[in-house]
Amino acid sequence: MKKVFVTGACGMLGNSVCRELLNKNYLVKALVLENENSKSLEDTGVEICRGNILNYNLLLEQLKGCEIVIHIAAITDLYPRRSEMIIKVNIEGTVNIIKAVKELKLERMIHIGSASSFGNGTKQNPGNEFVPYNSSEFKMDYLDSKFNAQQILINEFKENGFPVVIINPTFMIGEFDAKPSSGKLIVSVCNNQLKFYNDGGRNFVYSKDVAIAVVNAITMGKTGECYLAGNENLTYFEFFKKIFNVIGKNFNMRKVGKFTVLFVGFLSSVWARITKKKPVISMGIALLSLNENYYDPSKARRELLMPSTPIDTAIKNSIAWFKSNGYIN
């Protein structure tokens, strides 16, 4: 029975990955930050250890006895745009994992990247694993650091045959989103806090489907390759309409234009600098929201047997989890 080491285990994807590993009869060891709440993993059968991927010696010690590492841990904040800590965790932390995998001669590393490391597209011509990265224009350390970490891994494979498979999720929704992160869109609509939408859109995916693809990548997929883990390409109007259908309410959001979105983003960013508080929508997030962030997940479906749970079901399950955990009024 193989033992799998999981970083970032307490997050939305990490929780689902740990549970999927247990379902497939793997032994699971989860790395959790020193002061992080690990209640969601308690009584699951997961072995919990405390530490940080920036501490190489601790990482090396904790990885002993494992055959596989699934590296999920990352800082995913889009604000502020520039942050030394984002670069340290997302790049230096990944390099530490690489060094440890090489030193201990582990069988495989599954790295969780980001769909943004590939060029996006339209519904008619969605982005895929061959479209070059085009998000450097946003000048966001999160986007750039995920892309740079991915390039380091690919170069390791090309130069040293490093055994890595990279999974690039699109916009995930699902249970265990304790921040909440991406699920904040759902919570805001359900709590009647979000009143507007714009012309943009993105590829949405159920986090449990991504978790299945991640675990399948232990024995499936090709090393040195990337897999866009996504599902439905939806405009924001289409996505929000699905939420209203699930909660049984009439759609009451208003569409706003590009200028309004950018103006609100600009004002919010200025106010955030003055108050030192994180804005609801920063200028960077405003710019991103206007994009058509559509992707083609067919490679992951074909080579990793990734499921395609309807987004309506993902929304329904997300809402049930948020309600049971007190996020929705």
| pLDDT, tens digit (0-9, with 9 covering 90-100), for 101-146 | 999 999 999 999 999 999 999 999 999 999 999 999 999 999 999 9
At residue 261, does pLDDT exceed 90? yes
Q: DSSP class of residue 89?
A: I
pLDDT at position 281:
85
Sign of CA dihedral 276, 277, 280, 285: positive
What gap in Å lies between CA 186 and CA 208, rounded to an integer? 17
pLDDT of residue 284: 87
Q: How many residues does the chain have?
A: 329
pLDDT at position 184 = 94
Helices (H), the chain: 12-23, 56-63, 84-87, 93-104, 141-160, 184-190, 207-216, 236-247, 258-275, 283-289, 298-303, 311-324
Q: What structural domains and CATH numbers belong to the chain?
A: 3-176+204-233+294-309 (3.40.50.720)
Percent of the chain scored above 70 by pLDDT? 100
Report whether pLDDT(158) > 90: yes
Confidence of residue 278 (pLDDT cuts 50, 70, 90): confident
Contact 4, 218 (CB under 8 A): yes
Residues 6+ apart with CB under 8 A from 6: 14, 17, 18, 21, 28, 29, 30, 31, 69, 70, 72
Give CA–CA dist 22/80, Å, rounded.
Answer: 37
At 279 the pLDDT is 87
pLDDT, average across residues 236-251? 97
Place of tokens 């399948």: 216
Summary mean pLDDT of the chain: 96
Mean pLDDT confidence for 23-36? 96
Q: DSSP for 171-206?
A: EEE-TT--S-STTHHHHHHHTT---EE-S-EEEEEE
pLDDT in tens, 201-210: 999 999 999 9
pLDDT grade for 273, boundaries at 50, 70 and 90: confident
User: Minimal CA–CA distance to 111: which of 203, 245, 13, 236?
Assistant: 13
CA distances from 48 to 9, 26, 123, 252 (A): 9, 15, 42, 44
Give the amino acid at 22.
Answer: L
Would you state the pLDDT for residue 266? 87
Q: Which two tokens stand for residue 200?
A: 């943009």
